[in-house]
Amino acid sequence: MICKQATATALQSTGPALLLVTILAGCAAAPPLPSAPAPAPGPAAPTAADVDAQRRAAFSKSLDSWHGAKTAELQAKLGLPTSKTTQADGKLVYVYAKSAKVSGPAGPSNFSCVVRYLVDEKTSRVVGHQVEGC
């Protein structure tokens, strides 16, 4: 609306030459504002291997709560071990193993989890653990 009024005023007072200048100068679109710089790329998404390693570490850490527990408590919660062995250093090892066929995005695969609880034979208390698979 303002451009139309300026155009009419310029045409009445000065003629067509000034009209063209007025249109080009006053009614032209403003130059585009400079765009903001693109944000810096964020950290890369973790790979499947990274996620799996984190999950395994968290699982192993959760088993730390058994350290110091009596073997009777362990068996009351987890049932009888799959097997028991004795290491050369005299520590008894309670082995809990599970395996299953699971389906995933790439099709069926075998899943295996073995947890070995290290037991002090004299005190019958869990003193450590080892995890395979899981």
Distance CA 39, CA 106 (A): 35
Q: Is there a domain that residue 3 lies in?
A: yes
CATH number at residue 74: 3.30.1450
**Do both 78 and 127 map to the same domain?**
yes
The answer to the question of residue 56 being in a domain is no
Answer yes or no: is 62 within a domain: no
What is the pLDDT of the chain when averaged over all its residues?
81
**Is residue 2 pLDDT above 70, yes or no?**
no
13 part of a folded domain: yes
pLDDT recorded at residue 120: 92
What mean pLDDT comes out for the span 24-41? 62
Domain span including residue 106: 67-133
Per-residue pLDDT tens digits for 64-115: 999 999 999 999 999 999 999 999 888 899 999 999 998 888 889 898 999 9
On whether both 24 and 71 belong to a single domain, the answer is: no
pLDDT at 105: 85
Is residue 48 domain-resident? no
Are 73 and 120 contained in the same domain? Answer: yes
- By residue count, the chain amounts to 134
Is 61 within the bounds of a domain? no
In a domain, 78, yes or no: yes
pLDDT value at position 106?
84
Domain count, the chain: 2
Looking at residue 21, what is its pLDDT? 40
